[in-house]
Amino acid sequence: MSDWIDVPEPITWTLREPMMHNGVSYATITLRAPTGEDMMKASAVRGASNIEVVHRLVETVSGVPYDVLKKIPEWMTSQMASYFDEFAGQPMPDPLEQWRKDRREAARVATLPPPDETAPPS
């Protein structure tokens, strides 16, 4: 049975002051878990900087327009990027690879000469 990685819960940031865009007020930004498609769309813009990719991903998963996100503090963007980093973790190790590694180590140890128990410790 494989171990599943817990999906981080949606998280909400409250803006110090609500921001208006096209007659809509945005007081909070709530992020949900991104899909693979969300990740690909956000990173598909040629020449986009990391912060632009984060803003596009936040726009996709929160519904807050890109033009609003460009005006939020950078520390908030950095925290949001850290939230997305939780979804880009390393996969669990392959059990077969671990078994092979263990077998190689056992074979290596088996070829070592036995320790000379009469020699003084170094």
Q: Which of 74, 73, 85 is nearest to 39 (CA)?
A: 85
In a domain, 117, yes or no: no
CA 15 centroid distance within chain = 23
Q: Does residue 5 sit within a domain?
A: no
Residue 74 lies in a domain: yes
16: DSSP letter: E
Span 53-102, pLDDT tens digits: 999 999 999 999 999 999 999 999 999 998 888 776 555 566 777 788 88
Domain interval for residue 47: 11-110
- Cite the beta strand spans of 32-118 per DSSP E: none
Mind listing the pLDDT tens digit for each residue in 6-20?
667 889 999 999 999
Render pLDDT for 47-58 as a digit per residue (tens, 0 to 9).
888 899 999 999
* Alpha-carbon dihedral angle through residues 107, 111, 115, 116, given to the nearest 10 degrees: 170
Separate counts of helices (H) and strands (E) for the chain? 5, 2
Number of domains in the chain: 1
Total Cβ atoms within 10 A of residue 70: 12
Q: What are phi and psi of 62, to 5 degrees?
A: -110, -25
Q: Does 119 map to a domain? A: no
Q: Could you tell me which residues are beta bridge partners of residue 20?
A: 25
Backbone angles phi, psi at 30, to 5 degrees: -115, 125
Distance (Å) of CA 4 to CA 1, 89, 91, 119: 9, 12, 10, 50
